[in-house]
Amino acid sequence: MSQPITYCSHCFTKNRLGQENDLSSARCGRCQHPLFAHTPVTASASNIESLLQSDVPVVIDCWASWCGPCLQFAPVFSQVAQELEPRMRFAKLDTEQEPALAARFAIRSIPTLLVFAGGKLLAQRSGSLPASVFKMWLQSVLEQQVTK
C-alpha cells in the first residue's frame, strides 16, 4: 500500500506521509515547516489543486466577509480544525476573493462546506452548524470513505 499524500500548510508542496504514529510532528520535505498547522489555510487559485489532491480529506469552508452566518461559523470551523487535524485538513475559501473557484464548485449559498479527498468531492453541506453537529457530520463522511 502506498503512503498517503498531503500538502504542506506553509508552502503547499505535496508530501508523502510516513508511518509515524504522531503525524502532528511531521515536517515538509521542502521547507521543513510542520505539515499540519492545526488552523485552516486560505484556499486560492494558486493552491487549490494541492488541496484537492490530498489523500487526507480536506474540508473547505466557502464563505464571504459580509455573510453573518459565515462569520458566526468561523470560530467553530477553526476550533474543529484544531481538534481534528491531522485526520482531516481544513481550508477557507473566500468566495468574494476567488469567484472563479466559487463558480467551479457551484457555490450557490454560503456558508457551504465541501469535503474532498484524492480529487473527489466526498460531501457537501450548506449552512452554519454548531461544533457538535459539524463534528458528527465530518465523522459520518470519514466513515463513508472507509467503507467505500
Active site residues: 67, 70
DSSP-assigned letter for residue 148: -
The beta strands (E) that lie in the chain are given as 5-7, 14-16, 41-42, 58-63, 89-94, 112-117, 120-126
What's the rounded Cα separation, in Å, for the pair 124 and 1?
Answer: 28
- Classified as helix, coil or strand, 57 is coil
Of the candidates 106, 104, 8, 5, the residue with the CA atom closest to the CA atom of residue 56: 5
What is the rounded distance in angstroms from the CA atom of residue 29 to the CA atom of residue 32? 6
Show the cell assigned to 81: 480544525
